[in-house]
Every structure is written in C-alpha cells, then in structure tokens.
C-alpha cells in the first residue's frame, strides 16, 4: 500500500471575484495546528481519525482544501462537520474533488468573519495495533497479577501530537505518535486475579505421550475467568501473546512460558497452555469391549476404559478425565455418521459424576481428586474405570 501524507495548514488568499463576494481559499498546509485528535483503534481493519481545528473564515463563501499525498486515507470516508458556531452561521455548501489530486475542496458559507471549530474525520490505514499481556503468578499458583498492553506501529506517514487513543477496551490514553514509531502503552493492570490450574487427560484432543505404553499426554493450563468474581470482568480480553512468569519463595520471578491468548468475552474463560506434566502419569487402556446382538444387524456395545493414575507431586491435584464418545465409538466400531446413543453403567468407579456444565451429549468430563505423593515413599497408582453402553449400533 502506498504511503501518503496529510498536509495540515490554512492559507488565506485575496478575493478575485465580484466586489460583493469575498472568497478565501483555505488550504490545510501548516496552519492551524490540530486542537484535538482522536485515534480510534477499535476496528480490526481500519482506523478512524477525528481531528478538530479552528478555521478562520471570511464573510461569504470560503474554500477549504484537504490534501493527503503519501498517506493512506480512504477518500470516501472523509467527513467535514462544523461544531461551532451552531445553527446556520456556518454551513457546508458543497464538496468537490480536484482532478488527478489526492485532495478535496469544501465550499463553506459564513455569515460573518471569525474562527469556526470544525471536525474532520476519515479512515486511515497503516496504523496497526497488537495487544499483549504479562502474567505474574504467585508461588502457590492461586492468584496472578495481569497487565494488558497496546502496541501501535505507525506506518501512516503522519505524526500525531497529543493524540487521544481509544483501543476499544479500558480507558482512552493520551500520547504522541511519531512517524514510523512503534509505541507500547499500558492499558490496564489487575492484581490478585483468581487462578485455576488444570491437568487434563483427553486421548482424543491431546493424544499419547507414549502410545506403546498407553501413557497419555497430560497438558497443564492456567484458566482465567473474565468476570468480577475472579477480579477481572471489566472488558472483553482481546487476543494477544501472554508471557507468563512465576514468583519464587525469595521474591524474584522466573519465566514459565508463553501462549497466545484467544479473544475472551465477558463471563467467558481463557485457557493458557503451560506444557506437559512430567510428574503425573495416566495410563489409559480398553479393559473390556463386547457387542451384544439386539436383532438382525442391530447391536449394543459395552466398553470399559481403565485409567491407572500416578501422582508424583507433593501436592494434591485434580485431574480432568475427558472422553469424546463419538471418537471412542468410532475407534471401537469404525467411522459412523450417526449420533451416539449411550448409557453410563453402574460399573463405573470414577469418584464423581460427570460435570454437567462441561459435559455434553457426546463428551464426558470427570474431575478426579488425587492425593499428594508421600516424600520417601512410592507413588501408589489409583485405578478407575469408566463403563459405557453404546446403544443401537449397526454392523
């Protein structure tokens, strides 16, 4: 995209018309300076600029020229409005586009001489924004401090002094933004954000750490709830890179990792990947699989999944065990487009019922508490079984 430039000035030329008419040709070249400028970055693919100036007008018709060589202004987006004086004291009579120029000319009618406060707005390209975060978790991983930053890259070939910047979230900020400048601004800080750390065993989504030994990958996540109850919930969290640090017992911090935070609306939650747990081992096997004929080619299918879990951590944790029932049925019987009909059997030994909020018609989520590993002793594997009946399957 070509780079262009907004020339900002006003020059009054003597009248060359009939004696009863006074003409002033006003060019936006160096005078007057912007009195106010607002940069609105809340849209994804375009930036709205609103600037206010005091334009000196003479009685009669005045010409206001607006030129933008080397600046990516959308000419169809330019709007000129008179803010003061109100009423019909100053009126926009017409607008024209000089041929072969990146410019337009407004005809402004004024009843008397004086300065008019006007607002010029337009869509400007090549002002790019990104969001980023820094999270510092407490040593117990129960809370964190979260900061939200806005980075602006100005490739628009235009300088903005004292600009009020609206990012679509938090409060507007005021700063200077030079040509070809990259600037990072702090939008918000949150302290004591309540934090949840999860460990998940999900064969369908995360697969195996060692498939030959049937040992599952156990990813770890920090989960942030974007609501007031968890000390967030002031605005939707935009997508951006999250750098995660953790405090130690000496008060210093260590880098834990980084993840890309997805857009998170109010009252929704954000999951941040921390890596794979090395001190939590989950072995998943099919302990029993049998079909029973109902009639003709119609069968029921019983399956028992066994989980052997070892917690080598010195703290108790909760393991989330997830089974995608459509994926499981297809593994047992081959791909089938039909919805799954299933029943949870009484032989199930998992210590809790499925989470009603997180489970669905084809997915089960269980929260399994695990005791800590005793120092100096062997980790005792815990064995759980999930027994299911798939109904009305065809061969």
Q: What is the pLDDT of residues 65-86, one digit of tens each?
A: 888 888 889 999 999 999 999 9
What is the rounded average pLDDT of the residues 318-345? Answer: 95
| Angstrom distance (rounded) from CA 82 to CA 356 | 58
* Predicted local distance difference test score (pLDDT) of residue 150: 97
CA distance 249 to 261: 27
Predicted pLDDT at 374: 75
Please report where in the chains the tokens 């009248």 appear, as a residue.
Answer: 15
What's the confidence (pLDDT) of residue 379? Answer: 61
Res 55 pLDDT > 80: yes
- Which pLDDT score is estimated for 196? 96
Q: Residue 53 and residue 37: Cα distance in Å, rounded? A: 9
Domains and CATH numbers, the chain: 23-124 (2.60.40), 128-159+179-210+218-270 (no CATH), 280-394 (no CATH)
pLDDT > 80? residue 12: no
What percent of the chain is modeled with pLDDT above 70?
Answer: 91
**Lowest model confidence (mean pLDDT) among 31-35, 97-101, 137-141, 366-370:** 31-35
Q: Which residues contact 158 (CB under 8 A, 6 or more apart)?
A: 5, 6, 71, 124, 179
The model scores a pTM over 0.75: yes
- Secondary structure of residue 322 in the 3-state scheme: strand
Residue 54 has pLDDT above 50, yes or no: yes
pLDDT of residue 6 exceeding 70: no
Provide mean pLDDT across the span 350-376.
Answer: 91
CB 125 within 8 A of CB 156: yes
The predicted pLDDT at position 354 comes to 96
**Per-residue pLDDT reduced to its tens digit, 323-336:** 999 999 999 999 88
By C-alpha distance, which of 226, 233, 391 is closest to 302? 391
Mean pLDDT of 273-283: 96
């Amino acid at each position: 995209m070509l780079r262009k430039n907004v020339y900002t000035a006003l020059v009054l030329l003597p009248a060359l018309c009939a004696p009863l008419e006074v003409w002033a040709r006003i060019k936006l070249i160096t005078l007057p300076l912007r009195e106010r400028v607002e940069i609105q970055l809340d849209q994804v693919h375009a930036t709205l600029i609103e600037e206010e100036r005091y334009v000196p007008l003479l009685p009669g018709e005045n010409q206001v020229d607006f030129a933008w060589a080397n600046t990516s202004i959308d000419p169809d987006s330019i709007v000129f409005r008179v803010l003061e004086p109100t009423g019909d004291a100053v009126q926009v009579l017409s607008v024209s586009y000089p041929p072969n120029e990146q410019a337009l000319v407004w005809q402004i009618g004024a009843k008397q001489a004086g300065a008019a406060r006007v607002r010029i707005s337009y869509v400007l390209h090549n002002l790019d924004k990104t969001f980023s975060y820094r999270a510092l978790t407490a040593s117990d991983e129960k809370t964190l401090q979260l900061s939200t930053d806005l980075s602006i890259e100005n490739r628009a070939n235009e300088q903005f002094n004292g600009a009020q910047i609206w990012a679509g979230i938090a409060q507007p900020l005021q700063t200077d933004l030079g040509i070809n400048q990259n600037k990072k601004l702090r939008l918000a800080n949150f302290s004591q954000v309540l934090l949840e750390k999860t460990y998940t065993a999900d064969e369908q989504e995360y697969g195996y750490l060692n498939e030959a030994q049937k040992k599952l990958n156990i990813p770890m996540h920090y989960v942030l709830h974007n609501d007031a109850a968890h000390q967030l919930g002031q605005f939707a969290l935009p997508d951006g890179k999250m750098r995660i640090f953790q405090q130690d017992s000496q008060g210093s911090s260590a880098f834990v990792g980084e993840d890309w935070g997805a857009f998170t609306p109010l009252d929704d939650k954000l999951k941040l990947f921390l890596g794979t747990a090395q001190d939590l081992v989950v072995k998943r096997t099919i302990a029993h699989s049998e079909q029973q004929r109902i009639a003709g080619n119609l069968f029921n299918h019983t399956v028992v999944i066994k989980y052997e879990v070892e917690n080598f951590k010195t703290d108790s944790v909760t393991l989330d065990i997830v089974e995608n029932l459509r994926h499981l049925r297809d593994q047992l019987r081959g791909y089938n487009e039909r919805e799954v009909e299933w029943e949870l059997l009484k032989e199930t030994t998992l210590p809790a019922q499925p989470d009603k909020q997180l489970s669905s018609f084809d997915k089960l989520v269980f929260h399994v508490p695990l005791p800590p590993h005793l120092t100096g002793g062997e980790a005792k594997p815990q064995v759980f079984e999930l027994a299911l009946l798939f109904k009305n399957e065809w061969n």
